[in-house]
Chains A and B, each alone.
Chain A
Amino acid sequence: MAQFPTLYVVRQSHHDSNGRSVELSELASEYGFEFLALLDSEECQHAKPDAIAIEPADTSTEFENIRSQLQAFWPFRHHRSFLAQNVLIGNHSGIEWTIFDCVHIAGLSLSQSVQLFGREFCVVCARVPMSLPSVHLSAESMTERVGSLFGFHDLTFEVEEFNRRYFVRTNDARAAFDILHPVAIDYLLSLPVRDWQFTGSQILIANPGSHASESVRSLMQEVIGFVSLIPEFVVDDRAIAQTFKDPHT
Chain B
Amino acid sequence: MNEYAIVGFTCVLLTPVVWAVSTHNKFARLDAIIDESWANVDVALNLRHDLIPNLLEAVRAISKHECQIVDRLIDAHQNAIVGQAQSESILANSVSAVLSLAQTYPELRASQNFIELQHQLSNTEDRIAAAKRFYNANVRELNMLIESFPAKLVSGGRKPREFFEAESVRVRPVPDERA
Interface residues of A (CB under 8 A from B): 155-158, 173-174, 177-178, 181-182, 231-233, 236
**Which single member of A156, A178, A182, A233 contacts B141 (CB below 8 Å)?**
A156
Flag if B137 contacts A158 (CB, 8 Å). Answer: yes
A-B contact count (CB 8 A): 35
Within 8 A of A (CB), among B22-42: 33, 37, 40
Flag if B134 contacts A233 (CB, 8 Å). Answer: no
User: Whose C-beta in chain B lies nearest to the C-beta of A176?
Assistant: B134
A-side contacts of B37, CB under 8 Å: 174
**Complexed CA–CA distance, A173 and B127 (Å):** 15
A-side contacts of B140, CB under 8 Å: 156
For residue B61, give the distance in angstroms from its CB to the closest CB of chain A.
27
For residue B29, give the distance in angstroms from its CB to the closest CB of chain A.
10
A-side contacts of B124, CB under 8 Å: 233
**The 4 nearest A-B residue pairs measured at CB:** A177-B134, A231-B126, A233-B123, A178-B130
**Complexed CA–CA distance, A192 and B127 (Å):** 29
User: Whose C-beta in chain B lies nearest to the C-beta of A179?
Assistant: B130
B-side contacts of A158, CB under 8 Å: 133, 136-137
Flag if A233 contacts B133 (CB, 8 Å). Answer: no
User: Whose C-beta in chain A lies nearest to the C-beta of B127?
Assistant: A233
User: Whose C-beta in chain B lies nearest to the C-beta of A155?
Assistant: B137
- State whether the Cβ of B129 lies closer than 8 Å to any Cβ in chain A: yes
For residue A233, give the distance in angstroms from its CB to the closest CB of chain B.
5
**Complexed CA–CA distance, A173 and B33 (Å):** 10
